[in-house]
């Protein structure tokens, strides 16, 4: 079986939750694998991150380079191509970094690529058996990945539950000397923090959240009326912000705000994993959607199959009445 | 600036209920509404705006069949100057790497300063742009939500976690995958599409492009089947008239602290 590597995301010396999840996923490919964590960075926090990774991995490779101070995928890709042996399997979290890194890495390694993997059903020789989702989560697919020449997999955060990860107590090896040429034609400049809006949706106990089902900017007022009647705040999913109908600060999801309300009313929201990734703290979720197959019904506590443009005014009237 | 935009014809998931065929070989495609992939529409709009600012041409390209021509015409009605259709039975069943190889061959037949793709399409993989860049040995940035031309470089913003934006400077030529929300794609009316109805769209096959090893046989990643996962806990679906449903919901909300 091929060697398995996991690229570890970390910030301020703390490894991301996905570090342990990648270790769990690796064991699903090969239960006896001695998985190597690769931790890159620069400066004082790197050692703390390596210690964090060592808890879940048998071995840790530390690469300490000024070019790696910020994880620029164009630089990390060159590094991995330089240090990972041919035909290896590389696991990366399917976050905005993994999406930037993975496809190109597979080409440079001449390896297969599968992204946003939500399940692994083991391996048959060098063929990996995985599960993905297509069509905005409305269809699941069993896939095979020919890893004879290696593979790069990005794994959906939260899909591989940590806990049964084998204890690591791994040794940290400094591999900085093997990094090779890290020159890149893309230079990281800075991170611009998200603007704060006039309303802080993260502070509200009840959110009336709207999605594509609201259909028109003119209908936003319907949701505002319901929120007012319920003493709630209006939030939304991505398409509403893309359409510029509500400000970015109202968006719930991995690319928006993370909220922890007591009650979350998902109105006309299909329920993509990026949206669900922004809902924490196990709120009581109410889903209203005219499509009974919308993935949101899988995670909601209560569902109503109705057109929200009819539901919302009727609900507002009842609540106010 | 010579800009190439890679687009795809996909079932519109906002307009369709996706149902899996009984044998799991495919989804039910008979009554599906198809459209241009949403992300690609933002990419086309961005290309048009860049061209309008700094000059040049916008070419849209797709790997598909004769039916895919309609989305090329739609993007030309938006304002793209040229369309190219890459069509061959040998392309059927290609994985992302196969599609990227076909597109890479088409790129090499032209001379482009900037290549745009959507950040992802119907399979949610988001793989083609990054693969294309690596095959062409060009720099790449994904999930781009801001582009500024600065001489022979671009300043690009990437959407990262928490709604933050990662700013980068990237050399031209390069490949960018475009995130939704970067702009407001213009509306295309029937009249606009009629205007470009007779514009000739060149078609290239595998032989003309000099690509081989693509299609199902060359795919490293293959779909075995579509399936419906065992239902989880799932929501308690409230039944009855609208009024009955709302009454039940209000009771539940009161119990959960969602209503006073």
Residue of A nearest to B158 (CA): A96
Mean pLDDT of the B69-74 span: 96
Q: Supply the pLDDT for residue A313.
A: 97
Higher pLDDT, B189 or B2: B2
Residue B257's pLDDT is what? 85
Interchain contact, A135 vs B229, CB within 8 Å: no
Q: How confident is the model at residue B259, as a pLDDT?
A: 86
Instruction: Report the pLDDT value the prediction gives residue B234, as an integer from 0 to 100.
Output: 82
pLDDT at A166: 55
Report the candidate in A281, A237, A282, A283 with the shortest Cα–Cα distance to residue A263.
Answer: A283
Phi-psi region of A172 (alpha: psi -120 to 50; beta: other; left: phi over 0): beta
**Do A248 and B253 count as a contact with CB atoms less than 8 A apart?**
no
Residue numbers of A between 146 and 175 with CB closer than 8 Å to B:
146
Please give the average per-residue pLDDT across B69-75, as a whole number.
Answer: 96
Tell if the CB–CB gap between A188 and B259 is shorter than 8 Å.
no
First to last CA, chain B: 59
CA-nearest of A50, A3, A241 to B179 is A241
For domain B2-209, give the CATH superfamily: HUPs (3.40.50.620)
Note the pTM of the prediction, 2 decimals.
0.94
- For A130-171, how does the pLDDT look when each residue is reduced to its tens digit (9 = 90+)? 999 999 888 999 999 999 999 999 999 999 987 655 566 789
pLDDT of residue B231: 67
Residue B233 pLDDT: 72
- Per-residue pLDDT, A173: 96
Q: Across the interface, do B221 and A310 touch by the CB < 8 Å criterion?
A: no
Distance (Å, whole) CA A99 – CA A297: 27
A75 and A184 Cβ atoms separated by less than 8 Å: yes
B128 contact residues in A (CB cutoff 8 A): 103
Structure token digits, residue B104? 């890479």
Interface of B with A in 33-62 (CB under 8 A): none
Instruction: Report B:57-96 residues touching A (Cβ under 8 A).
Output: 96
Sketch out chain A's domains with CATH numbers.
Answer: 4-178 (3.40.50.620), 201-320 (3.40.50.1220)
Local structure of A68: helix, strand or coil: helix
- Other Cβ atoms closer than 10 A to B92: 11
Helix (H, G, I), strand (E, B) or coil at A252: strand
Q: What is the model's pLDDT at position A169?
A: 73
Q: Choose the closest CB to B13 out of A138, A188, A292.
A: A138
Determine the distance from the C-alpha atom of residue A107 to the mean position of all C-alpha atoms in its chain, rounded to a whole number: 22
State the pLDDT at residue A293: 86
Q: What angle do CA A297, A303, A308 make, to 5 degrees?
A: 100
Instruction: Report the pLDDT averaged over residues B99-123.
Output: 97
Separation between Cα atoms, residue A4 and residue A31, nearest integer Å: 11
User: Is B260 within 8 Å of A231 when comparing Cβ atoms?
Assistant: yes
What is the tens place of the pLDDT at every residue in A171-210?
A: 999 999 999 999 999 999 999 998 888 889 999 999 999 9
Q: Which of A115, A185, A187 sits opposite B125 (nearest CB)?
A: A115
pLDDT given for residue A24 in this prediction: 95
B79-107 pLDDT per residue, tens: 999 999 999 999 999 999 999 999 999 99
CB spacing of B232 vs A298 below 8 angstroms: yes
A206·B258 Cβ contact <8 A? yes
B43 pLDDT above the threshold of 80: yes
Cβ contact A238–B232 (<8 Å): no
Q: Does B15 touch chain A (CB under 8 A)?
A: no
Interface of A with B in 210-249 (CB under 8 A): 212, 230-232, 238-239, 241-244, 248-249
CB contact under 8 A, A262 and B258: yes
pLDDT along chain A (321 residues), means of 10: 94 95 96 95 94 94 97 98 98 98 98 97 96 91 98 96 67 96 97 88 96 96 97 96 95 94 97 94 95 91 97 96 80
């Amino acid at each position: 079986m091929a060697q398995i590597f996991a690229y570890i995301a970390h910030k301020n010396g703390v490894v991301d939750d996905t570090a342990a999840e990648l270790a769990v996923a690796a064991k699903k490919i090969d239960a006896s694998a001695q998985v190597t964590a690769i931790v890159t960075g620069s400066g004082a926090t790197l050692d703390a991150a390596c210690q964090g990774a060592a808890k879940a991995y048998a071995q840790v490779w530390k690469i300490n380079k000024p070019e790696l101070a910020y994880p620029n995928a164009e630089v990390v890709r060159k590094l991995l191509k330089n240090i990972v042996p041919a035909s290896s399997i590389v696991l990366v979290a399917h976050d905005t970094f993994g999406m930037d890194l993975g496809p190109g890495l597979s080409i440079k390694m001449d390896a297969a690529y599968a992204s946003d993997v939500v399940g692994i059903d083991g391996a048959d020789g060098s063929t990996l058996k995985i599960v993905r989702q297509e069509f905005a989560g409305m269809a699941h697919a069993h896939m095979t990945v020919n890893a004879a020449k290696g593979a790069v997999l990005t794994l959906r955060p939260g899909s591989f539950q940590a806990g049964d990860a084998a204890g690591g107590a791994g040794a940290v090896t400094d591999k900085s000397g093997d990094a090779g040429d890290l020159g890149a034609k893309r230079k990281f400049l800075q991170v611009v923090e998200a603007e704060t809006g006039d309303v802080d949706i993260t502070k509200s106990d009840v959110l009336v959240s709207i999605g594509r089902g609201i259909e028109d900017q003119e209908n936003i007022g319907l949701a505002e009326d319901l929120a007012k009647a319920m003493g709630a705040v209006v939030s939304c999913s991505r398409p509403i912000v893309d359409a510029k109908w509500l400000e970015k600060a109202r968006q719930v999801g991995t690319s928006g705000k993370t909220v922890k309300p007591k009650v979350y009313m998902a109105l006309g929201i299909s329920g993509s994993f990026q949206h669900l990734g922004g809902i924490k703290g196990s709120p009581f979720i109410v889903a209203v959607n005219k499509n009974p197959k919308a993935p949101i019904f899988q995670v909601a506590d209560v569902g109503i199959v109705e057109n929200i443009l009819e539901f919302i005014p009727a609900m507002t009237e009842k609540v106010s009445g | 600036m010579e800009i190439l935009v890679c687009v795809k014809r996909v079932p519109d998931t906002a307009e369709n209920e996706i149902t899996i065929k009984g044998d799991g070989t495919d989804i039910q495609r008979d009554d599906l509404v198809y459209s241009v992939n949403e992300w690609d529409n933002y990419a086309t709009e961005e290309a048009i705006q860049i061209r309008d600012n700094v000059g040049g041409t916008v070419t849209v390209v797709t790997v598909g069949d004769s039916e895919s021509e309609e989305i090329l015409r739609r993007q030309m009605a938006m304002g793209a100057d040229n369309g190219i259709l890459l069509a061959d039975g040998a392309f059927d069943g290609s994985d992302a790497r196969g599609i990227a190889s076909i597109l890479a061959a088409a790129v090499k037949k032209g001379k482009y300063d900037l290549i745009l793709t959507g950040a992802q399409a119907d399979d949610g993989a988001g793989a083609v742009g990054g693969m294309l860049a690596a095959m062409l040995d060009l720099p790449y940035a994904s999930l781009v939500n801001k582009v500024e031309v600065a001489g022979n470089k671009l300043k690009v913003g990437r959407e990262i976690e928490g709604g933050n934006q990662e700013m980068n400077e990237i050399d031209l030529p390069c490949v960018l995958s475009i995130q939704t929300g970067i702009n407001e794609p213009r509306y295309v009316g029937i009249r606009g599409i009629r205007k470009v109805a007779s514009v000739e769209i060149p078609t290239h096959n595998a032989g003309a492009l000099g690509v081989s090893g693509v299609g199902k046989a060359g795919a490293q990643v293959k779909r075995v089947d579509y399936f419906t996962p065992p239902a989880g806990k799932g929501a308690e679906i409230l039944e009855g008239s609208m009024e009955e449903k709302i009454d039940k919901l209000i009771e539940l909300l009161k119990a959960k602290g969602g209503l006073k």
